[in-house]
A and B are shown apart, each in its own frame.
Chain A
Amino acid sequence: NAGVTQTPKFQVLKTGQSMTLQCAQDMNHNSMYWYRQDPGMGLRLIYYSASEGTTDKGEVPNGYNVSRLNKREFSLRLESAAPSQTSVYFCASSDGQGVAFYNEQFFGPGTRLTVL
């Protein structure tokens, strides 16, 4: 099992360019998430998908769109990149069961994005 995979690992964009970050999981998880990590800020949730066909905004959704393509894949799109979106992006997945059950989120290796 590969777990959670993300592509690309690194990306440099110019202001105004667009790109899509890809994420896939092979653990048959229902829930998937996109986070960004900035120095001193911890991880902040951008968007999440509780199940195939549903997506919801997290704490910092502005400037991003997502697509839950199928149960395995959850992509994050930057339509017009800005320097403020320079960050490390993590995708994660989880089983989505109740809190009574230990239910960790499994993280991908991250994508380091720089917007010039």
Chain B
Amino acid sequence: AQKITQTQPGMFVQEKEAVTLDCTYDTSDPSYGLFWYKQPSSGEMIFLIYQGSYDQQNATEGRYSLNFQKARKSANLVISASQLGDSAMYFCAMREMESSGDKLTFGTGTRLAVRP
């Protein structure tokens, strides 16, 4: 079974609108962390936001927020007020502390295109 599933290979959003990128995960480890990374066309991996399994509140970082629904095992990324520079690949990733330590497992990514 896939540990991280991103079901949207590609998405479009209009500039200035909000967009949600889906991520579901599968783990039996009680301690885990969820990460989102952005990969623009230049290729570098840019960390966006982190959510720990014990965090009570959803993480937010500027225009990025993480809609964490633990019971559903989902960790969707919400980008508010989309900008042209948000066009990129977005990867969801998970750390499972007990079973895999510091290692990250990545999803296959979602390519977001922001339309002017």
Complex: how many Å from CA A94 to CA B106? 16
Q: Mark each residue of chain B from 71 to 103: 1 if its CB lies under 8 Å from any CB of chain A, else 0.
A: 000000000000000000001010101000111
Cβ of A72 under 8 Å from chain B: no
A103 touching B102, Cβ below 8 Å: yes
Does A44 make an interface contact (CB < 8 A)?
yes
For A33, the chain B residues whose CB sits under 8 A away are 103-104
A103–B103 CA distance with the chains assembled, in angstroms: 11
B32–A90 contact, CB under 8 A?
no
CB within 8 Å for A88 and B43 given contacts A40-B108, A100-B52, A102-B50: yes
Q: Does A41 contact B (CB under 8 A)?
A: yes
Q: Give the distance in Å from the alpha carbon of A104 to the alpha carbon of B106 in the complex.
A: 13
Residue from the list A42, A48, A99, A110 in contact with B97, Cβ < 8 A: A99
Query: Is B47 located at the chain interface by the 8 A CB criterion?
Result: yes
Query: How large, as a class, is the contact surface on chain B?
Result: 20 to 34
| A31 partner residues in chain B, CB cutoff 8 A | 102
Q: When chains A and B are docked, how far (Å) is the Cα of A73 from the Cα of B54?
A: 33
Cβ of B68 < 8 Å from any Cβ of A?
A: no
Contact B103 A45 (CB under 8 A): yes
Per the CB 8 Å criterion, the residue count for chain A at the interface is: 28
CB-CB < 8 A to B95: which residues of A? 99, 103
Are the CB atoms of B102 and A44 closer together than 8 Å?
no
Top 3 closest pairs, chain A to chain B, by CB:
A107-B45, A99-B97, A42-B106
Instruction: Give the chain B neighbours of A102 by CB distance below 8 A.
Output: 33, 50, 52
User: Can you offer 19 A-B residue contacts whose CB atoms are under 8 A?
Assistant: A33-B103, A33-B104, A42-B108, A43-B91, A43-B106, A48-B102, A50-B102, A58-B103, A98-B97, A99-B31, A100-B31, A103-B102, A105-B35, A105-B104, A106-B47, A107-B37, A107-B45, A109-B43, A109-B44
Is B53 in contact with chain A by the CB < 8 A criterion?
Answer: yes
> Residue among B45, B47, B105, B109 with the most chain A CB within 10 A?
B45
A61 at the interface (CB under 8 A from B): no
CB distance from B24 to the nearest CB of A (A): 14
